[in-house]
Chains A and B, each alone.
Chain A
Amino acid sequence: DIQMTQSPSSLSASVGDSVTITCRASQGVSNSLAWYQQSPGKAPQPLIHAASFLQSEVPSKFSGSGSGTDFTLTISSLQPEDFATYYCQQYHSYPYTFGQGTKLEIK
Chain B
Amino acid sequence: QITLKESGPALVKPTQTLTLTCTFSGFSLTTSGVGVGWIRQPPGKALEWLALIYWNDDKRYSPSLNSRLAITKDTSKNQVVLTVTNMDPVDTATYYCVHRRVRGIFDIWGQGTMVTVSS
Contacts and interface: CB of A to CB of B under 8 A. Distances in A.
B109 to A, nearest CB: 4
Contact size class for B? 10 to 19
Interface string A34-49: 1010000001111001
Interface residues of A toward B: which range? 20 to 34
Given A87-B47, A89-B47, A95-B49, A46 B63 contact: no
Interface in B73-119: 96, 103-107, 109-112
A95 B49 CA distance: 7
B48 interface: yes
A100 B47 CA distance: 8
Contacts, number: 49
Instruction: Name the prevailing secondary structure of the A interface residues.
Output: loop
Nearest to A91: B105
Contacts of A36: 47, 106
B71 to A, nearest CB: 13
Nearest to B112: A43
A100 B106 contact: no
Interface of B: 46-49, 60-64, 96, 103-107, 109-112
